[in-house]
Amino acid sequence: MALTTLILGLVLGGTYALLALGLTLQYGIARIMNLAYGEFTLVAAFCLVALFQGAGIPPLWAMIAVAPAGYAVGWALYAVMMRPLVTRAGNSGRLEVDSILATFGLLFLIQGVLLVVFGANFTSISYLDQGVRVLGVSVAANKLIAFGICAVVGGGLVLALHFTRWGLTLRAVAQTPGSAPLVGIDVNRMARQGFALGTALAAVGGASVAMHQTFSATGGVVFTMKALVIVIMGGVGNIGGALVAGLALGLVETFVATAIDPGLTLAATFAIFLGVLLWRPQGLFGRG
């Protein structure tokens, strides 16, 4: 029982960690607080389902298409919608408020489109749902695959950010956007890449959600909320922190759902959030 909770919690946590990673890239590097993040996740999830049910494309193949598509959408969105806000804000603190408002509008826009195209019903697919025994616990294969994808993509990104020159540049922009141009970094370009990469991660996260969870067009807020809380828990811009915090939230949520009530998972998220705010607002792994 405890082991089942642990394994299912880690699987769920893997998806959360990936989602949080994308959000922390968008907020940490591009300085855009994206409240429509969960809606991007849902778009990818619905696309995966549509491709599977409509064209018979297996989700694993679809995912290979979903990630670059997410990157392209993020890139275009940053260039068209966010960049003018960044220019208008200049060095003042306006960007945060403006980006919150603009993405809040985007949230309703995407949600409206999803409702029109896919309807308000809960959606799920059955794909590779036979059980696989892990340490004596039966886990659906699709959950394991989803976890594997999150581990590979998330882990790969952490390594790339820490050990490549490109990763160093991104981290420089995240740390001091004001000084990065002094060493020849094109901040605008890196911000656009960060935002696009974040959207791609949202898409991959959404695709893995579609493989093993039930979801509906109005549930984006909850994804965004959870990803935001994980980002705050891990410390804004802290990639490793977001991964650990994501896994932790998945564990707590699965524990609350099995031991107390599945209807209280958001309450558990908020309880953690409140605890972090009162005790360590700089994040569990933040300095200061």
Partner 1 sequence: MLKVVPFLALIALIVLAAVPFAVSDYGLGLLIGAVTYVTLASAWALFSGHTRYISLATVAFYGTGAYTVAVLNEVLPYWAVLAVAALIGGAMALVVGLATLRLAGVYFVIFTFGLAELVRQLITWYEVNVTGTLGRYIFLDITARGIYWQMLGLAAVTIALTAYIQRSRLGLALKVIGDDEVVAAHSGIHLARTKLVAFAASAVILTLAGAIASPRWVYVEPAIVFNPTVSFLTVIMALLGGANRLWGPALGAVPLFLIFEFLSAHFPDTYSIFLGLLFIGVVFALPDGVLAGLDKLKAKRTQPKERTA
Binding of partner 1 at residue 110 (CB under 8 A)?
Answer: yes
The vertex-179 CA angle with 27 and 288, nearest 5°, equals 60
Pick 110 or 242: Cβ nearer partner 1: 110
**Of these, 222, 244, 258, 285, which contacts partner 1 (CB under 8 A)?**
222
Q: Is 241:286 a contact under the CB 8 Å cutoff?
A: yes
Query: What string marks each residue from 137 to 176 as x (binds partner 1 by CB under 8 A) or -?
Result: ----------------------------------------
Q: Which is nearer to partner 1, 57 or 266 (CB)?
A: 266
CB 251, min distance to partner 1, A: 20
Q: Is 235 left (phi over 0), alpha (psi -120 to 50) or beta?
A: left
In what helix (H) or strand (E) does residue 185 lie, and over which residues does it extend? none
Which range touches partner 1 (CB under 8 A), out of 182-190, 198-206, 243-251, 262-270?
Answer: 262-270
Question: What is the number of residues in the chain?
Answer: 288
> What is residue 123's DSSP assignment?
B
Pairing mode, if any, of strands 131-134 and 137-140?
A: antiparallel
**Contact call for residues 228 and 32 (beta carbons, < 8 A):** no
- Applying CB under 8 A, the span of 64-72, 127-135, 187-195, 225-233 interacting with partner 1 comes to 225-233
For residue 255, state whether it binds partner 1 (rule: CB under 8 A).
Answer: no
Q: Which residue has the tokens 């607002």?
A: 281
Task: Report residue 32: phi and psi, to 5°.
Answer: -105, 120
Q: Is 79 in the site for partner 1 (CB under 8 A)?
A: no
Report the amino acid identity of residue 287.
R
| Sites of contact with partner 1 (CB under 8 A) | 33, 35, 81, 84-85, 88, 96-98, 100-102, 104-113, 115-116, 221-222, 224-225, 228-229, 232, 261, 263-264, 266-267, 269-270, 273-274, 277-278, 281
